[in-house]
Structure 1
Amino acid sequence: MKNRGFSLIELIVVMAIAVILLAIGIPMYASWSKKTQVKKDIYNIYSLLNDARVKAFTMKTNCAVSCSSSNELKLTCGNKLVSVINTKTRFGHRFQLGSDNMTFGIDGSANIVGTIYSLELKNKPATCISVSRLRIAVGEWDGDNCNVEE
């Protein structure tokens, strides 16, 4: 009578191959997942800043984006809280005059300019946002500056 099935050695070899593939794949997945989360959070903040600019212009009121903690940003127009976003990524900021707020005037231009950057990834694409008087752009944070492609 002939046995139909796998021997113990064959099962151990297959399990060893699976463990090796997992050992290689899990760190790669974790790295990819972190980069994707940072990019998603950066673009959410970018959208919030653009929303602040548009609302300031259309509502003819001053709007501010405040960074009260490393992962929460609030958009207020006038004295009204418009929206709040919480990110999974920790961010730092450097605003003009040491402020915690980035403000937009009634013409839609930034009154206080600066940079918001990821504290978790450096030297990677889409890790910071630079706000100048007339432009909001996503760039790469090098530890000191947000390098934006022109």
Structure 2
Amino acid sequence: MKRLMNKKGITLIELLVVIALIVIMLSIAIPMYNRWVKKEDVSGDVQKIYSALNELRVRAFSGKQECKMQWAANPFKKVDLYCGGSKIGEIQLKNDFEGSIKLGVSYVDFSSDGTADHNGNIHIKGDDYGARYSCVNISEIRISLGKWDGTDCNTEE
């Protein structure tokens, strides 16, 4: 009996307890991680749209040419960028977005003086997963980030 007491190692029960604790921790951590990834995807997509709109505005003003961002239909995951009538690029998005520009309009265009011809917003369709910004508001002279509340893009001013 004394020989068995001197053995070093772990028992099957101890091993099962450790495995059970790991499973419990993973069952909490994995959904939190997935939500964080979705939140960062939304933030990244909104930043891409915001940056592209600002770049188009600058190109329109500095090149004295018309530029626009266009999408096929709502909801969309891809936008095309045009300046001077030529396609200059496209942006692939990870989430579905909708444009609320003007009835029947699926683009934002900038005239040669750098002003937007249509006011409105581009926003996430569905859950924003708690992202700080979930929409881009477009006015004639300003592009700003905001939080979509289901009906409007609320910007920090």
The answer to whether the 8 A contact 1:74-1:83 is kept is: yes
The corresponding residue for 1:89 is 95
Q: Distance in 2 between matches of 1:7 and 1:68?
A: 62
Query: Normalising by the residue count of structure 2, what TM-score does the alignment of the two structures yield?
Result: 0.91
AA aligned to 2:126 is E
> Which of 106, 114, 122 matches 1:116?
122
In percent, how many aligned pairs have the same letter? 39
Q: Distance in 2 between matches of 1:149 and 1:3?
A: 66
Q: Which has the larger radius of gyration?
A: 2
Q: Distance in 2 between matches of 1:47 and 1:121?
A: 22
Shift of 1:113: 2.0
AA aligned to 1:4 is K
**Structure 1 stretches of 5 or more lacking a match?**
none
Q: Distance in 1 between matches of 2:118 and 2:80?
A: 15
**Structure 2 stretches of 5 or more lacking a match?**
none
The answer to whether the 8 A contact 1:57-1:107 is kept is: yes
Shift of 1:52: 0.6
AA aligned to 2:30 is I
Query: Normalising by the residue count of structure 1, what TM-score does the alignment of the two structures yield?
Result: 0.95
The answer to whether the 8 A contact 1:95-1:102 is kept is: yes
Q: C-alpha offsets along residues 45-65 of structure 1, whole Å, 9 cap, x if unaligned?
A: 100000110010111111110
The corresponding residue for 1:49 is 53
1:136 is aligned to 2:140 = no
> Which of 36, 39, 44 matches 1:40?
44
Per the alignment, in what secondary structure is the counterpart of residue 13 of structure 1? Answer: helix
The corresponding residue for 1:30 is 34
* Consecutive aligned runs of 4 or more in structure 1 exceeding 2 Å deviation: 120-125
1:68 is aligned to 2:75 = no
Aligned residue pair count: 150
Name the stretch that deviates more: 18-27 or 117-126. Answer: 117-126
Q: Distance in 2 between matches of 1:136 and 1:96?
A: 16
